Structure 1
């Protein structure tokens, strides 16, 4: 008997007509379709795996409601246990998922207008009610609903915190700049009350203080101005004070003059350190390497510090040896001068030793003292800027903590090492190590050695050219105190006129480098020599410490002294100019 479900003989349903009457028929007649179905299923499973295991959050939701689907990463980002927990708890994206409703409204408005948003930073609400910063990319899916969207979310909490930390660091840096500027202003104010010519110096220091305030916006601009605006009046004041020191004065006035002298010395050291550290920071100071006889350079420094040792009533011993090194003599001199200055400054009693030792292919220059010493835990900090690690009872004139920072940077530029050993209460030893030049290359060049006062200047005829009236007054007073006959002028033409009017035949010329109207001291010297038809020995005195100025004067073969001028160096230089035995051939 035929079953009701059996097909009527001679009739076929749609599946039979299409060859889909049974699964076996489908497999038989449509193998390609079955393969495609399996590929789609495999692809679906792969996307499902990526959705569930993605590192970034992914969700599909309705802007008018809640989530349609969420992956586990999205739940982790906002602090929920599972995607299901998130979908159940958050039923309104606007109020429950976004930290600020206004931010959601803005995002929704832009999505409806342009259809997608790329990498927008927003703040979402975590399960515990705290905010979380994310970057979100959103696409509209109008095929699934008017306000259905798909979103990809990355947690940027670390990036946000790093940005906040950077902003804090910038604020701290600004505060440090303001504090340093305030300290510099205070130093300038204190200095102002100790200068002899009060009215003029106060006006110039007011300009300097205003420049220091401008340093809040540009420290380097201020320091460049300070090299001229401050060193010029300091130079005049220092020379006038030196003149007064050589004059017979009552005890009380002599004590006041000595205090002014010390204040000026402190200001000079401060400005020199600030200018050098600024040039080092800007990489504006480059070493000019040449072979030098280290013995000559160190011996010159020893002679320079002999008077310092006598004034401080300290013993000063030297143990020197020969050795040719390739270095910048100017920078090496500055390094050793800073080390020696510190040794004498912080040694209340005892002695200082300056020693040179050869160790195979190296030369060690050592500075020993019996001073207050440095605690072991602070040795690693002494070469840091603006660190004053010595105790207040150490005595002596204080700096601002830049001397050893300059030493360390210059030593690094010269490719030599600097080390220190110290015992509190017993003293310190600083060691500078330089490579010795092989004998075949050891041909020393000229050494820029320190100069010390020597010789009598009685009756010497000196012409001074400077465009600063205060400098002319102070130079004339000091040189006349030394017994010189002095003529002063503000320009080359005025100098020639003075010499002719007074029948003055100078034995030496001292000229400022920067004169009025863009003229230089080199041009003034040439003009005077030509007008008087004589090759008069000459030197340049300048506040310009740039490498360009130094190289220009080297080409002219003119000795140079930097302002503020130390009287003992000026006297030694002048003695060498007016003494025929020391003139170059």
Structure 2
């Protein structure tokens, strides 16, 4: 019933009312009750409660007195602290002034009576702004107040500077200290402001002196005028350039008087530049004016005028006499140089025309040379068939004669004759290869994935007998690595390296062929224990018709290595040699290895066939050259074969029709009479007999397209002059199985 938060007086008043109510209740109960003892008990109980309440009231009154004493002490301490502050301080609670110090109250004497507790903060700022002691503020007091009201508790507010009479300056800071309280601090900053002002004035004075010194020492003449054309400031250079007397050029002198003096003394040739009216009109329209003045003594001045922000203008005079003289001198030099360049240009034009004539002659010579090379290439290509045909016939006849006269006295002579034709054949092949490589284009070389092991094995089987005859041990290291190269020319390159190694290795020596891996590349190496090559010869042996100095006479014409170098250069391979005279040599070809290519099973022609056995076969030879046809027939008959010699496809078909059976094998030349070809002969006979008759194409054409056509039609292609030690094993290998019908899917394809 009694709120502890009430004041003690209020609590005593409420307790008195409670006691009165209890006494009245007791009286009523006494009047109505039958027992005086009950009434007495109630009175005793009520009196005990009253004594308890009295003790509580006395204790509360004592505590309240203590609080009042502490509060008064705190107020005095606060007042003492505020009085000791250097600046003014005021605390506004809920927008009303609650406490302030003396400085805050007396800072503005004319409004001091109004600064009393309960004054609103807005009223204080209005009174402050209306004070006669306030000179001014920067006009942001109410803005700062609004910002302080919106700010978060404890956030500082930008200070506002107030200027008072007597050069006094105070900084007014407003800050919220709680949701209901706001503090105003007044800080005296007069000393700081006056010090800054003094420093600023000193700085301005020093800058003015500095600018004056710079102004007087400028190389150009400068003079400033006000809006009425009167002199405000000038330097001595301006007076000297215009030739003005000291008495005339003074502060306040008029521009018109200065120009009249200049025109009166005829100092400058151009008097239009000193028309004041013209000057002012140009300045008002354009904001600037520029003219060039020529002095009577030859001096040239550039005059510039610019409008200033205050409505006046500045005139700048610059002596450009030296620049003018330099420009004139440069113009003269440019004119002289132009004349020289014109003359030089004429000479260059003449030289250019002469060069053009020379280039035209060189172009004609180049075209003639290219035509000659092209003619040479066409001649060699066209003549290859005619050159190889008689050589092929001669080789066949020589081989036949050699076999027939082995034990005769003329046998050694026949062997020498065969060796001479072999050298002629090799030289002709080398010349044709160089011709094709010199004119190589995108279609001359056909790169593909080539198995090095297959090429090396083929060279080994081809040169093994030659090495054995010379007493040289030829070994190869098996490999199945693949490279990207032209198979035909890479085979010839390997063959040239092996042939050279055997040729220049004495009896009892050794030749080794193998491969090494170098990262993503593979290096094919041909080692020998031959005569070796000197260091001087190693840099030139890849040139045409070049041999090492220690090579015996008659060992060749020096074209094999040139063919190897050309092939590797066109295919992007690198060829190198390491050698030591008397020890041996190693030739290397470095090529990019093809990763992921698996070796394909390949059935090779068996080597070492017994040639003493009779070749019991019916062989159809299709050749339009009578000499070659005669020689081939004789050689095959010497081997024991029954031979049908035809000069055309029609004659071959007639032979087969007369026999009534297909031949065991067909040997056909590619180029027959007219448009007839060996392809026509082989295809016609296969169609006539309905059997896949084995066939070999023998041609002087060394084009790669014939190899591809042979592979597509199921027969191998040999080039002329044909190698007999390769021809007979190939015939026996192709005829070892029975012929199959033409519509059978091809076992012949596996024999390529």
User: TM class by shorter-chain length?
Assistant: 0.5 to 0.7
Shift of 1:246: 1.0
Within-5 A mapping of 1:31-50: 44-50=328-334
Using a 3 Å threshold, how does the CA distance of structure 1 residues 330 and 221 change in structure 2: closer, same or farther? closer
Using a 3 Å threshold, how does the CA distance of structure 1 residues 372 and 343 change in structure 2: closer, same or farther? same
Which residue number in structure 1 is paired with residue 571 of structure 2? 414
**Separation in structure 1 between the aligned mates of residue 546 and residue 553 of structure 2, nearest angstrom:** 17
Within-5 A mapping of 1:494-505: 494-503=651-660, 505=662
Equivalent of residue 354 in structure 1, options 506, 512, 522? 512
SS in 1 for 2:459: helix
Using a 3 Å threshold, how does the CA distance of structure 1 residues 226 and 373 change in structure 2: closer, same or farther? farther
| Contact 2:268/2:293 (<8 A) preserved | no
**Separation in structure 1 between the aligned mates of residue 711 and residue 729 of structure 2, nearest angstrom:** 19
Equivalent of residue 729 in structure 2, options 566, 569, 572? 572
Shift of 1:511: 0.8
**Separation in structure 2 between the aligned mates of residue 452 and residue 55 of structure 1, nearest angstrom:** 87
1:135 and 2:324 aligned: no
Equivalent of residue 522 in structure 2, options 363, 366, 369? 363
* TM-score using structure 1 length: 0.65
**Separation in structure 2 between the aligned mates of residue 23 and residue 549 of structure 1, nearest angstrom:** 104
Which residue number in structure 2 is paired with residue 372 of structure 1? 531
SS in 2 for 1:348: coil
Using a 3 Å threshold, how does the CA distance of structure 1 residues 581 and 40 change in structure 2: closer, same or farther? farther
**Separation in structure 2 between the aligned mates of residue 408 and residue 450 of structure 1, nearest angstrom:** 30
Which residue number in structure 2 is paired with residue 442 of structure 1? 597
What does the per-residue CA deviation read over 1:182-220, in whole Å, with 9 as the maximum and x for residues that have no partner? Answer: xxxxxxxxxxxxxxxxxxxxxxxxxxxxxxxx9699322
Shift of 1:367: 1.4
| Contact 2:529/2:584 (<8 A) preserved | yes
**Separation in structure 2 between the aligned mates of residue 545 and residue 417 of structure 1, nearest angstrom:** 25
Using a 3 Å threshold, how does the CA distance of structure 1 residues 21 and 296 change in structure 2: closer, same or farther? same
* TM-score using structure 2 length: 0.51
1:553 and 2:714 aligned: no
Using a 3 Å threshold, how does the CA distance of structure 1 residues 33 and 24 change in structure 2: closer, same or farther? closer
Using a 3 Å threshold, how does the CA distance of structure 1 residues 259 and 40 change in structure 2: closer, same or farther? farther
SS in 2 for 1:384: coil
Moved more, 466-475 or 296-305: 296-305
**Separation in structure 1 between the aligned mates of residue 670 and residue 264 of structure 2, nearest angstrom:** 106
Shift of 1:581: 7.9
**Separation in structure 1 between the aligned mates of residue 546 and residue 516 of structure 2, nearest angstrom:** 32
Which residue number in structure 1 is paired with residue 494 of structure 2? 336
Which residue number in structure 2 is paired with residue 124 of structure 1? none
Q: Larger Cα Rg: Structure 1 or Structure 2?
A: 2
Using a 3 Å threshold, how does the CA distance of structure 1 residues 322 and 24 change in structure 2: closer, same or farther? closer
Higher RCO by CA contacts (8 Å cutoff, separation 6 or greater): 1
Within-5 A mapping of 1:506-545: 506-545=663-702
| Contact 1:362/1:434 (<8 A) preserved | yes
Which residue number in structure 2 is paired with residue 194 of structure 1? none
| Contact 1:345/1:396 (<8 A) preserved | no
Shift of 1:32: 6.8
Within-5 A mapping of 1:224-263: 224-248=381-405, 252-263=409-420
1:488 and 2:645 aligned: yes
Count residues in correspondence: 434
1:297 and 2:455 aligned: yes
1:269 and 2:553 aligned: no
**Separation in structure 2 between the aligned mates of residue 274 and residue 20 of structure 1, nearest angstrom:** 104
Which residue number in structure 1 is paired with residue 82 of structure 2? none
SS in 2 for 1:391: coil
**Separation in structure 2 between the aligned mates of residue 436 and residue 351 of structure 1, nearest angstrom:** 31
Moved more, 302-311 or 380-389: 380-389
Equivalent of residue 386 in structure 1, options 545, 565, 574? 545
Which residue number in structure 1 is paired with residue 135 of structure 2? none
| Contact 1:472/1:488 (<8 A) preserved | yes
Shift of 1:52: 4.9
What does the per-residue CA deviation read over 1:40-88, in whole Å, with 9 as the maximum and x for residues that have no partner? Answer: 97765334333555796556xxxxxxxxxxxxxx7xxxxxxxxxxxxxx
Which residue number in structure 2 is paired with residue 99 of structure 1? none
| Contact 2:497/2:587 (<8 A) preserved | yes
Which residue number in structure 2 is paired with residue 454 of structure 1? 609
**Separation in structure 2 between the aligned mates of residue 227 and residue 445 of structure 1, nearest angstrom:** 34
Shift of 1:224: 1.6
**Separation in structure 1 between the aligned mates of residue 430 and residue 702 of structure 2, nearest angstrom:** 12
Equivalent of residue 345 in structure 1, options 496, 499, 503? 503
Equivalent of residue 622 in structure 2, options 462, 465, 469? 465
**Separation in structure 1 between the aligned mates of residue 603 and residue 378 of structure 2, nearest angstrom:** 30
Which residue number in structure 1 is paired with residue 30 of structure 2? none
**Separation in structure 1 between the aligned mates of residue 512 and residue 620 of structure 2, nearest angstrom:** 38
Shift of 1:490: 1.0
| Contact 2:699/2:719 (<8 A) preserved | yes
Which residue number in structure 2 is paired with residue 24 of structure 1? 268
| Contact 1:293/1:447 (<8 A) preserved | no
| Contact 1:291/1:444 (<8 A) preserved | no
**Separation in structure 1 between the aligned mates of residue 461 and residue 694 of structure 2, nearest angstrom:** 24
Using a 3 Å threshold, how does the CA distance of structure 1 residues 336 and 41 change in structure 2: closer, same or farther? same
SS in 1 for 2:616: coil
Shift of 1:501: 2.8
Shift of 1:422: 0.9
Using a 3 Å threshold, how does the CA distance of structure 1 residues 482 and 301 change in structure 2: closer, same or farther? same
Which residue number in structure 2 is paired with residue 404 of structure 1? 561
CA RMSD of aligned residues (A): 4.0
SS in 2 for 1:24: coil
